[in-house]
Amino acid sequence: MRIGILGGGQLGRMIALAGVPLNLSFRVLDPSRAACAAAVAEHHVGEYEDYAALADFVAGLDVVTYEFENVPVETARWLSLRVPVFPPPEALEVAHDRLAEKLFFTRIGIPVPAYGPVTTRQDYDDAIRKVGLPAVLKTRRFGYDGKGQTVLRTDADIEPAWTLLGGRPLILEQFVKFEREMSLLGVRGREGEQRFYPLVENRHRDGILHQSLAPAPDRGSLHELAEKYVGAALSTLSYVGVLAIEFFVVGDSLLANEMAPRVHNSGHWTIEGAVTSQFENHLRAVLGWPLGDTSPRGFSAMVNLIGQLPQREAVLATAGAHLHLYGKTPRPGRKLGHVTLTADTREGLAEVMRRWQG
């Protein structure tokens, strides 16, 4: 079986690494010659809107998936006329647009922060009145890792934010005073079977995921709530593959921040920390195979390696630390790899984390 992946970054690389032992082979489409998935996959260099390249790419593939959500919906639809494409292009369409995403969440009963759509200056003023400050002004499309957004803390920020982002389709969102951020990954097979990984707590730095703790400590009944929400999204979209939803925790409730229709950075811990990794389960799902056990194995912490790499020897010498490098050239703010720390108990994990940080 040959799987096509739109995008050849670290997510594609880790999908392929999970698939080789299942005797799958991979072809990635990525405009960058340096796409790091090329180490373990056939690499087609091409743009996602180049239909001649897409025709070449799709020839001989059994199924197509994608590893980042900024793939044009038209591309996914065009491919889906030739070969099964999972997750469904409809999920991509919802995830592309923060407004469509909010409307979708609301429609299926998932609470979201207060928000207002912003196209004109009049919309902007209306939204500020409705949402109040502090708030976050975001582009509706193509934002990730904190890009394409700015925080309005006081009235003094209103004009500079408009100067920075105005003129594009925007959304103003309530700045939620959340206690914690969490995410839940679900996976749905072609026949509708659903499984869920444990709820994970995420800590960000400079708008980029820095650390995930799995399972999330002190999650009370939040896991059940998150599972209900993600399950509703999976069913409504007739979704196939891994889906991640990020939440803000406010008291006993969860407010959905955004969804990612793909394997997700907050699930990298599953390689060592779960019985079946998110990457293998994504493949099982898109191929129509039985899903794997999503139970955790002990306790895990995933730490992203951003911008620069730690000393390799120090990581390798830390018992319980698992190093994953993506083969990318270091650059400020770039995700270069991650380390997953594992232990049998939460106390053991705290000890591994102390050794790692010390």
Among 317, 331, 346, 350, binds its own copies (CB under 8 A): 317
Looking at the Cβ atoms of 175 and 289, the one nearer to its own copies is: 289
Residue 339 in tokens: 């380390």
Radius of gyration of the chain, Cα coordinates, nearest whole angstrom = 20
The dihedrals phi and psi of 289, each to the nearest 5 degrees, come to: -90, 165
Looking at the Cβ atoms of 94 and 214, the one nearer to its own copies is: 214
Q: Report the distance separating Cα 358 and Cα 112, nearest Å.
A: 39
Stretch that binds its own copies, among 127-135, 196-204, 238-246, 319-327 (CB under 8 A): 319-327
Q: Report the distance separating Cα 45 and Cα 34, nearest Å.
A: 10
From the list 165, 167, 141, the residue with the least C-alpha distance to 151 is: 165
CA dihedral 289, 295, 298, 303 (to 10 degrees): 70
- Those residues whose C-beta lies under 8 Å from the C-beta of residue 118, and which sit 6 or more positions away, are 124, 127, 137, 169, 170, 171, 172
Looking at the Cβ atoms of 16 and 71, the one nearer to its own copies is: 16
> Half-sphere exposure of 16 toward its Cβ, with a 13 Å CA cutoff?
28
Stretch that binds its own copies, among 22-30, 140-148, 205-213, 246-254 (CB under 8 A): 22-30
Looking at the Cβ atoms of 79 and 339, the one nearer to its own copies is: 339
Q: SS3 breakdown of the chain: % helix, strand, coil, rounded to 5?
A: 35, 30, 35
Kindly state whether residue 158 participates in binding its own copies, applying the rule CB under 8 A: no
Q: Report the distance separating Cα 25 and Cα 43, nearest Å.
A: 12
Among 153, 203, 205, 312, binds its own copies (CB under 8 A): 312
Kindly state whether residue 39 participates in binding its own copies, applying the rule CB under 8 A: yes
Kindly state whether residue 46 participates in binding its own copies, applying the rule CB under 8 A: no
Looking at the Cβ atoms of 35 and 255, the one nearer to its own copies is: 35
Residue 219 in tokens: 């999650």
Kindly state whether residue 358 participates in binding its own copies, applying the rule CB under 8 A: no
Contacts with its own copies in 322-351 (CB under 8 A)?
A: 323-327, 337, 342
Binding mask 248-287 for its own copies (x = CB under 8 A): ---------------------------x--------x---
Stretch that binds its own copies, among 78-86, 210-218, 252-260, 288-296 (CB under 8 A): 288-296
Looking at the Cβ atoms of 98 and 328, the one nearer to its own copies is: 328
- Those residues whose C-beta lies under 8 Å from the C-beta of residue 233, and which sit 6 or more positions away, are 104, 105, 108, 110, 186, 239, 243, 245, 259
Kindly state whether residue 34 participates in binding its own copies, applying the rule CB under 8 A: no
Residue 162 in tokens: 């408009």
Q: Report the distance separating Cα 278 and Cα 285, nearest Å.
A: 10
Looking at the Cβ atoms of 117 and 327, the one nearer to its own copies is: 327
Q: Report the distance separating Cα 298 and Cα 172, nearest Å.
A: 40
Q: How far is the CB of 236 from its own copies (least distance, A)?
A: 26
Q: Report the distance separating Cα 358 and Cα 356, nearest Å.
A: 6
Kindly state whether residue 235 participates in binding its own copies, applying the rule CB under 8 A: no
Stretch that binds its own copies, among 15-23, 110-118, 207-215, 216-224 (CB under 8 A): 15-23
Contacts with its own copies in 292-311 (CB under 8 A)?
A: 292-293, 297-298
Q: How far is the CB of 293 from its own copies (least distance, A)?
A: 4
Looking at the Cβ atoms of 22 and 164, the one nearer to its own copies is: 22
* Largest Cα span, the chain: 58
Q: Which residues bind its own copies (CB under 8 A)?
A: 13, 17, 20-23, 25, 39-40, 275, 284, 289-290, 292-293, 297-298, 312-313, 316-317, 319-320, 323-327, 337, 342
